[in-house]
Amino acid sequence: LEGLVKHNGPLTDASGKGLKGPVPQAIRDYSELHDLELDRFAGIEAQCAAIADDIAYNTHDIDDGLRAGLLTLEMLGRVGLPGSILKGVRAKYPRLDNVRTGHELMRRQITLMVEDVIASTTANIERLKPDSADAVRAAGETLVTFSAGMA
């Protein structure tokens, strides 16, 4: 439950004041019974789940936009990350139809984002050197992140 509640970071400051508005009473009530440490960061597993959701949302939103006709590959070609990926796909597979090009775009984007998270998270762990799950929660920042360039 802690991972679900705090997957995007702490909910309260040390005094218990909600950081992004009031904390739902059901969460406060449960935390009274089983301390969720609402003022601390989630464990590393929850941080991984949260960023995996971000990757999935980003890529699936593009895929949904393409399938619905709200986006085109030409439009995406003018946008940072998808544009650079499309350039590579088209260079390697110049005869690939638009549907398959879109699928290759999604595959490569997911790969690049996952590799970025791994590199950034590795650097954060090396910098902060947490030696326990408790040290991850007390780190004062999210360890599982995108690099500044990807974010």
pLDDT tens readout for residues 41-59: 889 999 999 999 999 999 9
pLDDT at 77: 97
Looking at the structure, tell me whether residues 59 and 97 fall in a common domain. yes
Looking at the structure, tell me whether residues 120 and 137 fall in a common domain. yes
Question: What range does the domain containing 29 cover?
Answer: 1-40
pLDDT tens readout for residues 64-109: 999 999 999 999 999 999 999 999 999 999 999 999 999 999 999 9
Looking at the structure, tell me whether residues 29 and 83 fall in a common domain. no
The total number of structural domains in the chain stands at 2
Other CB atoms within 10 A of residue 106 CB? 18
pLDDT tens readout for residues 116-130: 999 999 999 999 999
Whole-model pTM over 0.75: yes
CA dihedral 58, 62, 67, 70 (to 10 degrees): 130
Looking at the structure, tell me whether residues 89 and 129 fall in a common domain. yes
Looking at the structure, tell me whether residues 50 and 93 fall in a common domain. yes
Looking at the structure, tell me whether residues 76 and 138 fall in a common domain. yes
Q: How many CA atoms lie within 13 A of 43 on its CB side?
A: 9
Looking at the structure, tell me whether residues 48 and 7 fall in a common domain. no
Q: What DSSP string describes 33-79?
A: HS---TTSPPPHHHHHHHHHHHHHHHHHHHHHHHHHTSS-HHHHTTS
